[in-house]
Chains A and B, each alone.
Chain A
């Protein structure tokens, strides 16, 4: 049957079918409207601002670029459709002008999209993620993170500031740190690769078996935040989460005193499993 004489039944069926995408669009819009959080939420570490700035810089650059591409795609569709008497322009793009134009556009794109972002990112990295505080700097809290299937084990040195002593504070899936002081992390794993993800701190680092990774962050406000695992580690990967408690300085000191006291009281020389710790890595 030719295109012109559509069967009325087929037309009705097609009309009914076209309702499905509309229905889907309706559901989609409704779902989008009730999402409780768009974005990662306010940052709680010194990494937050640089991350935010860079993310929105890239978004702006990328959006403008994509908009230009869309316009350049749409104009020919609207203006240059094949029609009787209409001829395409015969142009191989081999002329010197074309080559120069290509080169100029490439340079502009590289400078604006890539080089600009690169410069900002390198500064962020050198002033931020890679500026691991020296371990003997005052006020640095060292935390050893031992990941396992499927829990996070944390060890802080306790009041005496030394790992491997009776007052080391051990916890599972709970990490308590002070606000406004650098927290230096050593991460490793007992079994498979995991990754410590502190979304509010904008931090992620892999915990590899057989090696120690180094990372750090500094919390900028007190509160309760989330810990997630960000490297597939088995069937309970999705359940490997915990809580990060950030306490202001006074509250943290009090907490640390009490936690160390309890650790000493609970210390069992026989329990070798709980005596995990390692030589601190820079």
Chain B
């Protein structure tokens, strides 16, 4: 296994860049793949916002290309396809590959002092499986009846042949299945690597919190992706073989039937842990970045780990809060409400520790630091609005309105994405040997967080005003016509938000090849990854390092002339 010996360097182009076993190359493959899909998902979001602000108007530029038969106008069925694929793409093909595939692969071996992942072949397979999943998802958009229209949640019976004919929905389920399989492979790799390949002296409590976040994410992935895998298998069988898992007897010509609500239970038993899967890496990264750029230890390291552990354990037992209007029994409903409120406590503890890390620090307001602090802002706002939705009597009104859309975009999209942005700006110098332009980075941050806050805060107002989600056109209902200007406001801010990402795209591409060359440790960090030369040799560590110090020993009073110390050095007495 890879922990011990140095493997020969790959020589062919295919071995170096395509079918590579090197976790650093695989990380970059995941990054490019994820960024491409984030772009596609983002363009879909722009189209959705266009239609909502200008119902029935042809989409500029893209309309003629994508919707020629309707003169550039998005028709209702295509609109449903857009929000379905937007959700599926952003979660499974965007955030997951970037946060977990890329940064999991990049950070784990380098931070724990290993030469590679413990199962390099499995690692390579995991990338190509998600690639295949993406291809199946892409294929689904070109079949005769088009891609899935049943929402990223795909509830039967809309997602069975009762509601949706055509191969698109089946291919969607296959794509989700494949992407899930890829994440399970990655999860097994990450967990085993962290358990087995930590360098001598790297105890569990000496690892950067980034690794802890990725560890808990991997555990959740390994445990709960199989649940949705099986749920998808049952859906695929219903669609392809005419089985009756989710189709009730009343819709069949004879015999006993299944239960569409079963799907909802299975989906959300996976679905709720999934949102923690997406946020845990970001939480770990944020905890580290705040410490690194406040030049101060991460406050309450063990408590932070404990809080992440508590969230991991509780994540499976709160899922019913997605189903408060389905007809759950009162007792079940109350239990889910209570548990959902309990799970907010470890989240709150994280905030406490983050803010305490900043308090009386020496803040270096670099772009990664801005994004880390940005997570505190957006996750604070998004997380607190979860209280309205955890409470059944307010959720009954707010369920399936834009209030929910605002809540999950702030907590999932914004927070996880800011974690990913922070990580990208932070690790870019080590990954690519150059610095991302700092001024463009700061501009990107401010031109993202301001419109983002406007977009999703307006959604809270829309939702509270009773605007349902997944509507093609709100002006067709009398009750919703007076709210249309909220849609326009949201869309204008969304277009600015979308345009701002071009700043990042430009910065990334330009800096990748022509950026300012980076020194080996530009941020002055003591973790093992920053002790590597740039570019990192394919075997990482020539000699496996011996760890003597924790990852957050900043501004120790005994340190002279500098405020940081590599983990391989002993703290002065």
Contact = CB atoms under 8 A, between A and B. Distances in A.
Contacts of B464: 39-40, 55
Contacts, number: 325
B345 A237 contact: no
B471 interface: yes
Interface in A54-78: 54-55, 58, 61-62, 65-66, 69-70, 72-73, 75-77
B409 interface: no
B397 to A, nearest CB: 5
A98 B300 contact: yes
Interface stretch (B2-10, B13-21, B105-113, B386-394): B386-394
Contacts of B376: 69, 73
B472 A238 contact: yes
B428 interface: no
A210 B362 contact: no
A205 B327 contact: yes
A106 B400 CA distance: 31
B362 A124 contact: no
A229 B480 CA distance: 12
Contacts of A58: 387-388, 391, 394
A102 B301 CA distance: 12
Interface of B: 75-77, 79-80, 149-151, 155-158, 162-163, 248-251, 257, 259-261, 294-303, 325-327, 330, 333-334, 337-338, 341-342, 344-345, 348-349, 351-353, 355-356, 358-365, 373, 376-377, 380-381, 384-385, 387-388, 391-394, 396-397, 399-401, 439, 447, 450-451, 454, 461, 464-466, 468, 470-474, 476-483, 485-486, 488-489, 492-493, 495-496, 499, 552, 554-557, 563
A51 to B, nearest CB: 6
B485 A234 contact: no
A206 B295 contact: no
Interface string A85-122: 01111111110001100100110011001110110011
Interface string A189-213: 0011101010100111110111101
A222 interface: no
5 contacts: A24-B493, A80-B358, A82-B363, A88-B554, A239-B476
Contact of A229 (B249, B302, B447, B468): B468
B257 A230 contact: no
A232 B155 contact: yes
Given A73-B376, A195-B400, A118 B496 contact: no
Interface string A21-48: 1001001100110111111110000010
B476 to A, nearest CB: 6
Contact of B397 (A34, A51, A70, A213): A51
A135 interface: no
Contacts of B79: 235
Given A232-B155, A232-B158, A55 B349 contact: no
Given A87-B555, A193-B158, A106 B345 contact: yes
Nearest to A14: B443
Given A36-B482, A236-B76, A238-B472, A210 B345 contact: no
B295, B391, B393, most chain A CB atoms within 10 A: B393
Contact of A209 (B151, B250, B495): B250
A208 B355 contact: no
A73 B286 CA distance: 14
A130 B358 CA distance: 46
Contacts of B377: 69-70, 73
A237 B471 contact: yes
